[in-house]
Amino acid sequence: MRRWARTAALTLVVTAAAGGTVAGAVVWFGWYDVTATSPHTTPVHHLLDTALTRAVKTRSAGIEAPDLADAERIRNGSRLYRAHCVQCHGGPGVAPEPYALGMNPAPAALVATARMRTAAEVFWITRQGIKMTGMPAWQYRLTDDEIWDVVAFLRVLPALSAEDYRRDGAGLPPEAPRRTAQPAARVGDARAGRDALQQYLCVTCHAIPGVPGAWNYVGPALGQMGEQPYIAGVLPNTPENMARWLRSPGSFKPGTAMPDLGVSEQDAKDIAAFLRTLPDGP
Ligand code: HEC
Ligand code: HEC
């Protein structure tokens, strides 16, 4: 190797090592400010915003929107928006709930979003959620058709006055239909089941091998679930029984601390398929 090349390589390695040491120190000594009360600096804010915009553009390319002008769609979207979105994003004349006001990053006013982003982009964000912001992934709670309903409503939202928004809501039934009513469409898929464990908060209560973040002992460890003869000591451990337990633990063991998390039939089948593979995993 030439002398200059060796010097350049050495400089790079030393710089990288120094950078790594500084980053390590910031983490280890707790110098990084993780509080929600201190906003990101302007450069960090711009960086994250650009990363989000680029990711959304790239990944939503090719999604075709259905007819969003359909009146029934907009009406159902309005109902879903009131049930699931206004709490964080607010609406014309409606402030977000106190917990949403304390979020960092702050949930955007979707009136502005609907003007800036295409329908496919809004559909994609709503379906997938945004990591580390508090924006939930709605695909486990709403069908794709329902998400398009919300997108259709967001298209008309910028044109609504506070009075329009209030009046439209008066004629709508308060509770939106839940996705849990959807029947299962295919056999259980272990990999889809592993993803669903994050989405129903299973990871916050159970230790599950191979699942990042699932190292909690509020409930029993699930590492041997494929081989255990009974579920919670009350149900023989078959895939059908597991799906039933996950959807309604209280009806098999009244008073149990495991909550009913509104797991859909398909997601319950997928999770049961995953638990069946333990301890080895899919
Ligand atoms: C628990 C609070 C919360 C709920 C509920 C929520 N969101 Fe969000 N949402 C956020 C946060 C936080 C962000 C990220 C900050 C940002 O970019 O606005 C976000 C971002 C978004 C964005 C991207 C905004 C942009 O222009 O960057 C869209 C679109 C969106 N949400 C749609 C929805 C829809 C539709 C619903 C209802 C089905 C919903 N959100 C429910 C908190 C929430
Ligand atoms: C708030 C905490 C909590 C959440 C969230 C939770 N569980 Fe549980 N889970 C428990 C507790 C507590 C038990 C023990 C129930 C009992 O025996 O009464 C349990 C029991 C179980 C059992 C039976 C374990 C055994 O040893 O027989 C399985 C399987 C299970 N949970 C899976 C899940 C899955 C999958 C999810 C997500 C859909 C989930 N749990 C979400 C707390 C939780």
Tell me which ligand sits closest to the C-alpha of residue 118.
1
Domain 190-276 class?
Answer: mainly beta
Give start-end residues of each CATH 2.60.40.420 domain in the chain: 190-276
Q: What is the DSSP string of 181-206?
A: GSPP-S---HHHHHHHHHHTTGGGT-
Least confident of 37-51, 164-178, 183-197, 222-236: 164-178
- pLDDT higher than threshold 60 for residue 180: no
Fold topology of 57-177: Cytochrome Bc1 Complex; Chain D, domain 2 (1.10.760)
Q: Whose CA is closest to 179, among 149, 135, 214? A: 149
pLDDT tens by residue, 227-245:
999 999 999 999 999 999 9
pTM over 0.85: yes
The residue-averaged pLDDT of 243-267 equals 95
pLDDT tens by residue, 135-152:
999 999 999 999 999 999
Q: Identify the pLDDT of residue 174.
A: 63
Instruction: Give the binding-site residues of ligand 2, using a 6 Å CB cut-off.
Output: 200-202, 204-206, 218-220, 222, 225, 231-232, 246, 253, 256-259, 261, 263, 271, 275
Q: Is 88's C-beta closer than 6 angstroms to any atom of ligand 1?
A: yes
Q: Identify the pLDDT of residue 68.
A: 95
Give start-end residues of each CATH 1.10.760.10 domain in the chain: 57-177
Q: Is 60's C-beta closer than 6 angstroms to any atom of ligand 1?
A: no
Q: How far is the CA of 130 from the centre of ligand 1 (A)?
A: 8
pLDDT tens by residue, 44-59:
889 999 999 999 999 9
Predicted confidence band of residue 40 (pLDDT cuts 50, 70, 90): confident
